[in-house]
Structure 1
Amino acid sequence: MGNSGKHRPKSRLRLILVASGVAVAMLAAGAAALFVSSGSPESARASQALPQPAEPQATVPMADPPRATPTRASRGQHRTDKPVRKPTVAPSAAPTKAKKRPEPKKTPKARVLSSGSCEASYYWEGQMTASGERFDPSELTAAHKTLPMGSKVRVTNKNNGKSVTVRINDRGPYVGGRCLDLSKAAMAQVGGTGSGVVPVRYEVLART
């Protein structure tokens, strides 16, 4: 009975400490609750009063530019999407002056030494001529009684006006009224092979 009285002050002290601790804890809890409850409405009101930041708008991706229609690839070539460039036209050069064409040289007219009229015949048999060369009926030659060998004579058919220039390389003809015996080719040029004998005008030309 005497020992129990000694331990009472210590037990009371412990009880006071525990009670005070519980009280402090309750005060702290109440203050925290009060802070939370008082802060929520005011913070909500403050958040409503303050301007809200604009929501970021979703960026719309820009559409790609229209692409040129690809050309149809030919055989052995790759298809390309590159646009075909039009060839640039070079500015036209200044017009050049047209060159004057050289005028054709005029053949000088042969000088006529003598002239006359008679009848002309023709022959075509192959034979030796008086000049020593063999007669060729396809060449433009003729026979005359007195003109020098190699003389040039222009013969014109009076019936049609056709002319031919022949070279004298033989003698003849020895028939009255005839002064020239033409080769067959020469007579064909003046159009007299059908009749065989034609009236002609002859002009002895100067040698050039």
Structure 2
Amino acid sequence: MAQKTHSPDRNSHSPEAVTAETGHHMPKRRERLKAFMRLKSQNRVLMGASGALGAIALSLGAVLAVSDNSPETVRLGNGLASVDAEPVTQYEPLPVKQVSSPQPAPSASDIGAGQASYYGPGFEGRRTASGERFDPNDLTAAHRTLPMGSRVRVTNSQTGDSVVVRINDRGPFHGNRVIDLSQGAARSIGLIRLGTANVRLALMMR
């Protein structure tokens, strides 16, 4: 009579049954876990690539937009900026300031020497030979022959002081005097104290 072989119950919780079942299913679970991790890694790579592609597309769009609206683009930091070409304004050069050269001193012609005298307060307000009123403080003088309005430089021979006077009267008519000065002109060359002095005369050409 054949003996029945007793097989362990699959629903049994005996250590042998648990070991057998675990040993049978472990490779499959590991394979599924590895496949899941590979898919997850691939998804991350795909997501990263799609993000990079999106950023590149945005950058290209910005470049195209700038290129359409501006004749020239330049890089500014991490982005782009457009530069509009504008015509260069032509400026007129500033006028060169002309520096005037110093005027030369008026030339004079020596017309002789002699004694000079002066006349003053007693003649104030009288008409001179030129028709104007005499003012003792003006730098004027009387000469026998020089044209009215002539300008004469009178130099005191002793001191070297000089004054330029305008001829507006005739005289002097005393002795060998060659010119009669106004009181103001006589004072400027030290003639008041002495009353007369030897002088040199020079006719101003200008």
* Normalised TM-score (structure 1): 0.48
Q: Which has the higher helix share?
A: 2
Specify the structure having the higher radius of gyration (Cα). 1
* Normalised TM-score (structure 2): 0.49
Q: Which has the higher strand share?
A: 2
